[in-house]
Amino acid sequence: MSKDNHWIAGINAVSAAVEHDAENVREVLLEAGGRNPRLAAIEVEARRKDIDVRRVAQQALDGVAGGLRHQGVAARYAAARTWDEHELPGLVEAAGGRALVLVLDGVQDPHNLGACLRSAAAAGVTAVIIPKDKSVQVNATVRKTSAGAADIVPIIRASNLARALRELQKLGVWLYGLAGDAGDSVYGLDLRGNVALVLGGEAEGLRRLTREHCDGLASIPMPGGFESLNVSVATGVVLFEAVRQRQAG
């Protein structure tokens, strides 16, 4: 796993980093005179964990936040863990036959990826797999939108997505792709065992080679007649259908 230092900004992102991954937070910057009680809580928690805290002018925060809305706080951070592909078998094995993997094939919008990661963390996914190429990576905007989920969920950057899908199948994971033209409904799938849910990007959806590696394709019924959902919304729908089934059974 590799780490790079960079700045994260915003109350949710910094709070999550301090709470869940304090050893990788190098310092916290707070706006001088900021009176938001959540800023005070971040300061107390950071000092309790021996993280350097500095009060700085708003202009300094504007500079390190890189255009993001910082809400009076930023942190210099060793980036979220980048999990290697060879760690995937261990993650699946540790799930004890109930692995839930999210595969995102070419999501381009950082806000969408961040929202997908937030849903993934809430659903307790085993791992999220994204391609190294033709996909947005975990940047500052993704981290902020994810509200800390990028620090919690194992994110694997696959150099060859088709190979990663074949590896999942060898590990006993069933691959279900989401496609608007599929005849089967996601609500008819059995999502209780080792399952990977595969969703495509905003423009093209699932690429042909990705579709061909799936064990089955399904769609989300939309009685309102609309043709498609935003990828982050679709991700939330299918992940929590899996959660519902697992809690029921």
Which residues in the chain come in under a pLDDT of 50? 1-3
- 189 annotated as ligand-binding: no
CA-CA-CA-CA dihedral for 58, 63, 64, 70, to nearest 10: 50
Which pLDDT belongs to residue 1?
Answer: 43
Which pLDDT belongs to residue 163?
Answer: 94
Distance CA 208, CA 97 (A): 28
Architecture category of domain 5-78 in CATH: 2-Layer Sandwich (3.30)
- Write out pLDDT tens, residues 225-242: 666 788 999 999 999 999
- 96 annotated as ligand-binding: no
Q: Are 185 and 219 in contact (CB under 8 A)?
A: yes
- Please tell me whether residue 74 adopts helix, strand or coil conformation: strand
Which pLDDT belongs to residue 4?
Answer: 53
Distance CA 128, CA 120 (A): 8
Q: Just give the CATH number of 82-248.
A: 3.40.1280.10
- 113 annotated as ligand-binding: no
Which pLDDT belongs to residue 2?
Answer: 44
168: nearest Cα among 93, 232, 83: 93
So where are the chain's domains?
A: 5-78, 82-248
Which pLDDT belongs to residue 249?
Answer: 64
Percent of the chain having pLDDT more than 90?
60
Instruction: Find tokens 């310092």 and name the residue.
Output: 27
Distance CA 168, CA 163 (A): 9
Distance CA 107, CA 95 (A): 26
pTM: 0.74
